[in-house]
Chains A and B, each alone.
Chain A
């Protein structure tokens, strides 16, 4: 076969795979919007489920919206507090020691662990501590889920900081900590935002890890030690009913979840733009 044909065929294949990716996204969004939008109304966003909601009665999913925001928000904050030191340690302090290689491997393995395993793990711990399903339990399980994603993403971002930039700070008499906190973190702010977003998106959309750990409730989150509802589980419970109108609300809930993720990623882009002004390229 001549090289020109070969080139054309491979180009065609690459365009086809790109189209499959874009196509699936459009298809998923279309299904969620087409099936969910008719059922979406103000009551769904502003009310908690009333009696008989799952049989087609009145109410909304405010419990799940607020629950999910609390769960994913809390987990993202905790995960950031843990992963920023991890990433700074791996990139600024330890370099390529055996310990840091082992830490990286552990994070990669954790990344690959299915979320139901985190849920089951969290559940076991909670049984041991005699804690019941609660916001706290859900936040902990989601933190575990988000931790490797955020740490590796942060590490990737921090590794892009030029050595000379760090050297400039050291040459002025900055310690490693001062260099990390005042120079490296500032240089990486846009990337840190992306990492936060990535982890938050993963956390808010996960059903399996909150299934046993956070439980489910029809009321709004009120305490760290009480169960909370979440959007993925709201989708699951509503879709599992035999009533078409409730199933439609499941799609509406999925639409709400999608919109939340979309809004947050747009928000991050907007804030991110402000932080890039000082970044050195």
Chain B
């Protein structure tokens, strides 16, 4: 690949005795949507969370190998983990707004990282709520509790909150699976818009979603990388027998 944004070398993850990811080596393209697919329990989420080091929060986790983000080894001991997580945003499976107002949710990250002025904060909040496609729905009640929004709105709020720290990569862990079809579509459209400026990596178990969104596909099975490649090649000319079986829906 010409200029991968993230490159993973011999990544192994163990949860105590369970070998969750087996020697993964793969490169993720810049400003494209990469979809990680595979059946449940095959290590998709583990892989995703090892890209922003959330995986190490689980007790008894051991990680070996390298994850390079623009050449920076994020597991190197000199690296500040909060800096990594600031550069790599996450949209989780179910929306989890923070226990505060809509405004404070979006302002949370920028405030953590030192943004103070009222006007700057107002602008950041508005910009990112617009980018997430939520501004028009909440502009009159920015100081209402985030918990009062619907699930679909909450997920877009989480998107705005993640964008507000100005990451370069956006991870999504089945970001539409807890949403109704309309809200899911809304999020999908946002992701397609956002790939102009962000490298996006999403986990999905919905093949059709991967076909709709992905430019690049990674197929994991039982912790192993089975096949990866540009979406067109992957779906039209799968090389591996297991990939063909999965695409036909045989797992």
Binding site for B on A (CB under 8 A): 95-96, 162, 164-175, 178, 182-183, 186-187, 277-281
Contacts and interface: CB of A to CB of B under 8 A. Distances in A.
Contacts, number: 80
The 9 A-B residue pairs whose C-beta atoms are closest, nearest first, are A173-B86, A171-B90, A172-B109, A187-B99, A278-B99, A173-B82, A173-B85, A186-B99, A278-B145
Contacts of A182: 108
A170 B92 CA distance: 12
Given A167-B90, A168-B158, A278-B145, A173 B96 contact: no
Contacts of A280: 96-99, 146-147
Given A170-B54, A182-B108, A278 B101 contact: yes
Interface string B66-108: 0000000000000000110110011011101111110000001
B83 A173 contact: yes
Interface residues of B, number: 30
Contacts of B108: 169, 172, 174, 182
B109 A173 contact: yes
A170 B100 CA distance: 16
B52 interface: yes
B147 A186 contact: no
Nearest to A186: B99
Interface in B159-208: 161-162, 165
B57 interface: yes
A173 B109 CA distance: 7
Given A183-B98, A186-B100, A187-B99, A170 B57 contact: yes
A167 B162 CA distance: 12
Given A167-B57, A279-B147, A172 B99 contact: no
Main SS at interface, chain A: helix
A166 B85 CA distance: 13
Contacts of B147: 277-281
Interface of B: 52, 54, 57, 59, 82-83, 85-86, 89-90, 92-94, 96-101, 108-109, 112-113, 145-147, 158, 161-162, 165
Contacts of B162: 171-172
B218 to A, nearest CB: 21
Given A164-B94, A172-B112, A278-B101, 11 more contacts: A96-B59, A164-B93, A165-B96, A167-B92, A167-B96, A170-B54, A173-B86, A183-B98, A186-B99, A277-B145, A280-B99
B59 A172 contact: no
22 contacts: A164-B92, A165-B96, A167-B57, A170-B85, A171-B52, A171-B90, A172-B85, A172-B89, A173-B82, A173-B86, A173-B112, A173-B113, A174-B82, A174-B112, A175-B82, A182-B108, A186-B99, A277-B145, A277-B147, A278-B147, A279-B99, A280-B146
